[in-house]
């Protein structure tokens, strides 16, 4: 069974079931992207609960570091790297197993469904997670094994997060402010701490030439899987989010408005401004003179600070003026 799930022929067969269905599902590739995840996180943080929102932001960020470490540890190819029969709808330079889209969507939507527990929210979360995973398979960028593995690892990570998070928060609440800041720095460094050993273990390892050639022929883009940009971005996102939330707490905290229209207005304005800031920061920081890791880290820090502290504080002044 495992061999079938890890067989490019399985992907080819699925892609040929219905060309229209394949095109529609593959078009959902952007469901596994930071802008989409940001929209969901910001809506959850500003529209439902900052307390649960910052928990999810931290869990989501650390999950990203775990996924990147596992990709490097297993360093397995994507379907279109090893078979020209698989149609690749876009190029991805990182390793394939486990699927980051499957793992991160399971963590993100699974957390929201478990906390909100409203029927329509649970259904929406299931649909979004399923579409994210199916899009990776039908787009030719993941084996079925990658997606199944990512889903199972995401579910396990989510269970651990629900078990451990309350204890960490209770411990942090007893700390003095300087110790809390130190704890934030250590927690935000976890994605890098987890990913760096796996990255260093591949020093001197060469990507098989046939993988490079097949991927290049398929998409016209080269692959460079031995890198950890996602861990840098995840670390910056956790750091910015936690620092912003800590600052917000020091000023008395904030809760979403009880009335539905102001709540929607705050959440939507937060989403729009966060996405604009993220895109602006990426555009400014991704200059040739700035290393990619630094650009991703700084832009993620600014983004996390913005929606966890700046937007709520601005909303508090607007609502109480």
Q: Quick one: three-class SS letters along 116-139?
A: HCCHHHHHHHHHHHHHHHHHHHHC
Closest by CA position to 177, among listed 247, 253, 252, 240: 247
Say what the pLDDT of residue 320 is. Answer: 61
Given a contact cutoff of 8 angstroms between Cβ atoms, the answer to whether 200 and 153 are in contact is no
Kindly list the domain boundaries of the chain, sorted by start residue. Answer: 2-319
Tokens standing for residue 86: 């698989």
- According to DSSP, residue 207 is labeled -
Compute the 3-state secondary structure of the chain and give helix, strand, coil in percent, each to the nearest 5. 75, 0, 25
Q: What spatial distance separates the first Cα and last Cα of the chain, rounded to whole Å?
A: 63
Coil vs helix vs strand at 92: coil
Give the other-Cβ count within 10 Å of 89's Cβ: 19
What is the radius of gyration, based on Cα positions, of the chain? Answer: 20
Strand locations in 96-218, DSSP E? none
Which tokens is 112 given?
A: 């929201």
Query: 3-class SS at 172?
Result: helix
Burial of 270 (0-12, 13-18, 19+ CB in 10 A): buried
- pLDDT for residue 286: 65
Give the model's pLDDT for residue 106.
95
- What pTM did the predictor assign? 0.91
Rounded distance, CA 243 to CA 301, Å?
9
* Alpha-carbon gap, residue 282 to 292, rounded angstroms: 10
Q: Report the pLDDT value the prediction gives residue 90, as an integer from 0 to 100.
A: 87
Q: Which of 109, 107, 112, 115 is nearest to 59 (CA)?
A: 107
CB-count burial class (<10 Å; 0-12, 13-18, 19+) for 229: middle
| Calpha distance 160→181 (Å, rounded) | 24
Sign of CA dihedral 59, 62, 68, 69: negative
Contact 129, 110 (CB under 8 A): yes
Walk along the chain (321 residues) and give the pLDDT tens digit of each residue. 444 456 777 888 888 888 888 888 888 888 888 889 999 999 999 999 999 999 999 999 999 989 999 999 999 999 999 888 888 888 888 999 999 999 999 999 999 999 998 999 999 999 999 999 999 999 889 999 999 999 999 999 999 888 888 888 888 778 788 888 898 899 899 999 999 999 999 988 888 899 999 989 888 888 889 988 889 999 999 999 999 999 999 888 888 888 889 889 999 999 999 999 988 887 776 667 677 788 888 899 999 999 999 999 998 887 665
pLDDT in the model for residue 70: 93
- What tokens does 197 get? 């050993």
């Amino acid at each position: 069974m495992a061999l079938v799930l890890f067989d490019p022929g399985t992907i080819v067969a699925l892609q040929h079931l219905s060309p229209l269905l394949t095109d529609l599902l593959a078009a959902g590739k952007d469901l596994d992207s930071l802008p989409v995840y940001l929209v969901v996180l910001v809506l959850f943080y500003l529209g439902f609960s900052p307390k649960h929102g910052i928990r999810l932001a931290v869990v989501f960020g650390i999950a990203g570091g775990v996924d990147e470490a596992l990709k490097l540890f297993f360093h397995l190819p994507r379907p279109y790297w090893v078979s020209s029969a698989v149609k690749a709808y876009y190029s991805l330079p990182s390793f394939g197993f486990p699927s980051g889209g499957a793992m991160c969507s399971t963590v993100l939507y699974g957390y929201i469904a478990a906390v909100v527990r409203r029927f329509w929210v649970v259904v929406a979360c299931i649909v979004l997670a399923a579409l994210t995973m199916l899009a990776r398979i039908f787009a030719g960028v993941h084996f079925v094994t990658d997606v199944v593995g990512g889903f199972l690892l995401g579910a396990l990570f989510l269970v651990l997060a629900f078990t451990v998070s309350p204890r960490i928060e209770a411990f942090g609440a007893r700390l003095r402010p300087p110790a809390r800041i130190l704890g934030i720095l250590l927690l935000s460094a976890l994605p890098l701490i987890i990913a760096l050993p796996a990255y260093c273990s591949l020093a001197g390892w060469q990507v098989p030439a046939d993988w490079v050639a097949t991927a290049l022929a398929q998409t016209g883009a080269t692959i460079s899987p031995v890198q950890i940009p996602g861990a840098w971005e995840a670390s910056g996102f956790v750091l910015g989010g936690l620092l912003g939330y800590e600052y917000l707490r020091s000023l008395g905290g904030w809760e979403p408005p009880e009335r539905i229209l102001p709540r929607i207005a705050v959440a939507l304005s937060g989403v729009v401004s966060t996405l604009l800031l993220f895109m602006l920061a990426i555009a400014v920081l991704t200059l040739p003179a700035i290393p990619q890791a630094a650009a991703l880290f700084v832009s993620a820090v600014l983004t996390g600070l913005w929606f966890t502290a700046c937007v709520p504080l601005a909303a508090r002044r607007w609502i109480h003026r």
